[in-house]
Structure 1
Amino acid sequence: MDIKGNTIFIPGATSGIGLALAVELQAKGNEIIVGGRRTGRLTQISDDHPGIHTIEIDTTDLESVRQATNRVLTEYPEVNVLVAMAGIMQVEDWTSPDDALTSAENTVTTNLLGPIRLIAGFIGHLQTRPDATIMTVSSGLAFTPLKATPSYNATKAAIHMFSETLRLQLAGTSVKVMELQPPSVATDLLPGQRESSFAMPLEEFIEEVISLIESQPAATEIQVERVKFLRYAEARGNYKETVAALNSTDPHGNR
């Protein structure tokens, strides 16, 4: 993915990593369309960041995804990058399965079905563009599990394998598949995570991500240094020790 000259749609980018990434990619010379459910936040983003376009979308609602996709492709036919950013993270206790099941269903719908629906909507169009990218967003927890968030871990592991397989199927087309793998980042993904001393500062994370995309435009996985502790635990041969270390830190497993 070239760092500039793109038209990029980023649903789920009204806050946190998504919004910060949108702002930095705009500064690098890209046209940005941000999607989200909260109309008030979309209006605020338009006011705060002139030139960033906004579209209402609820990635948990198939019809909303279809309508937003049609609108993006109609109003911004030059779109050549999709960043499937939407995601939630919830603590679950599977010793109380009724509550955990509700959380799991919501997490799977948002974190897994949401990106899959978006990719399904855009993939035909992207193959008509001479240079296109699908960026998925997994997590270091796709590779080393956090005890408190089993469904989040599972959906991010699924996103990783979906990305790997999609890349195989799109080989020979104009569409690249790039997987962003964040560590714990100081956002509001979980209560208290923004204030956690273990979480990577958001500005530092985005700066490193942009630098990696710029220096490695053909990369298939975007990994800041902090995520490699989790990403390569099994390859290092100390997976069991890494799982133990991750789950013995703060209540969110931040390291």
Structure 2
Amino acid sequence: MAATPIGHKETEVLSLPFNYNIATFGYIRSPTLDELCINNNKKNMDLKNSTILITGGTSGIGLELVKQLTQQGSTIIVTGRKQEALNDTKSRFPQTHVFQSDVSDPQDIERLYQEVTQQFPDLNMIVNNAGEMRLLDALDAGKDLANITREIDINLTGTIRMVHQFLPHLMGRPSAAIVNVSSAIAYMPYSSAPVYSASKAGVHAYTLALRMQLERTSVKVFELVPPGVNTNLQNDWVLPPNPSQMMDVDKLVNVAVKGLLNDTPEIKPFLVGVIKFLSRLIPHQLMKMGHREFEKFKKLNSQSMN
């Protein structure tokens, strides 16, 4: 008679949110992100009849979202800090509605909420897209300590404040959504942009937690995870990155719109999926690769400024 391995019980399975047999250490199958985080009873997003607020909607990803969501038939509300840029967006897309607002200012967010919800009671989606990226060398002297965390104030704290300010209104809508724009840098920090990296990692973690909290409500939570994109986000960079290594903004937003229509909670292009996988498989090597590329880029910037 064959001996039974010590501690082996064929029916003994750990009660976890995935199927894992303790006795055999046999991985059966993890649930999909949709199974864990999305309430499948929620209705699919109807972009044609949606009223959408986009922060930072005057340039880059935000402006392209304005364009493509307008084509879907959505009513678009755009916010930004610079009135001149808002006026330009309004002239390009006359059907949009613009509001000057700074997501790093809590009073501005509260004022924006009052104005927007009074004028647009049908508002059912916010897109937290406003962002800033700067290079920072920890070894440089003379840092502006008062301004050093500005990326966190805009990218992370601004996102959190927008969500919690607008959430009560969204909860009152039969179908609503929050879209937080993070970055592939959330999976692979860039050593030359440490504060930006921290802010986007925070957005990613916050979005995962928020999605779980709102699972049984009418509010869906999406995360758009861009790779490097041809935008003016990198305002500290004298030389732009190699365009051949960047994703066209229209292609990214096309992926985003399809993701919203298909109820994909974590919307990411194929390249970002690869980065996410490699960040778990070879995290240190991936960071070193990114660091080497940024060191080359910093050298080019230094040469161009001399």
TM-score when scaled to structure 2?
Answer: 0.77
Instruction: State which of 103, 128, 132 in structure 2 corresponds to 1:84.
Output: 128
CA 1:102–1:47: 2 relative to 1, 3 Å: same
Note if 1:163 corresponds to 2:207.
yes
1:205 corresponds, among 252, 275, 280, to 252
Classify the secondary structure of the residue corresponding to 1:22: helix
User: Partner residue of 1:223?
Assistant: 268
- State the Cα distance separating 1:27 from its structure 2 match: 0.4
Take 1:64 and 1:148, find their aligned partners in 2: how far apart are those partners? 31
| CA deviations over 1:11-35 (Å, ceiling 9, x no partner) | 1111000110111011011100000
Residues 10 and 84, structure 1, Cα contact 8 Å, conserved in 2: yes
Task: Quote the Cα distance in structure 1 between the aligned partners of 2:63 and 2:273.
Answer: 24
Structure label with greater radius of gyration: 2
- State how 1:137-148 maps to structure 2 within 5 Å: 137-148=181-192
Could you tell me which residue of structure 2 aligns to residue 120 of structure 1?
Answer: 164
Q: From the superposition, tell whether residues 45 and 60 of structure 1 become closer, same or farther in structure 2 (CA, over 3 Å).
A: same
Give how far 1:99 is off. 1.5
Alpha-carbon spacing, 1:97–1:115, altered in 2? closer, same or farther (3 Å)? farther
Match of 2:219 in 1: 175
Whether 2:288 is the aligned partner of 1:244: answer yes
- Residue 149 of structure 1 corresponds to 193
Q: What is the CA-CA distance between 1:98 and the residue it aligns to?
A: 4.8
- Asked if the contact 1:35–1:55 (Cα under 8 Å) also holds between the matched residues in 2, the reply is yes
Q: Equivalents in 2 of 1:187, 1:197: separation in Å?
A: 13
- Give the secondary structure class of the aligned counterpart of 2:245: coil
Identity %: 32
Return the letter of the residue paired with 2:120. Y
Gaps of 5+ in 2: 1-44, 299-306
Runs ≥4 residues deviating over 6 A? none
Residue 255 of structure 2 contacts residue 267 of structure 2 at CA under 8 Å; is this kept in 1? no
Per-residue CA deviation, residues 148-200 of structure 1 (Å, 9 max, x unaligned), is: 00010101011111111111111211011101101000001113337633111
5+ residue gaps, structure 1: none
Q: Distance in 1 between matches of 2:176 and 2:265?
A: 13
Q: 1:24 aligns with which of 48, 57, 68?
A: 68
* Secondary structure of 2:49 counterpart: coil
Structure 1 residues 147 and 194, CA, compared in 2 at 3 Å: closer, same or farther?
Answer: closer
Deviation sequence 1:228-253 (CA, Å, 0-9, x none) = 23222233x1222222222333527x
Match of 2:37 in 1: none
Which whole-Å deviations, capped at 9, do the CAs of 1:109-150 have from their partners, x for residues lacking one?
111111111111100000000000010111000111111000
Contact 1:147/1:247 (8 A) holds in 2? yes
Contact residue 106 and residue 161 of structure 2 kept, 8 A: yes
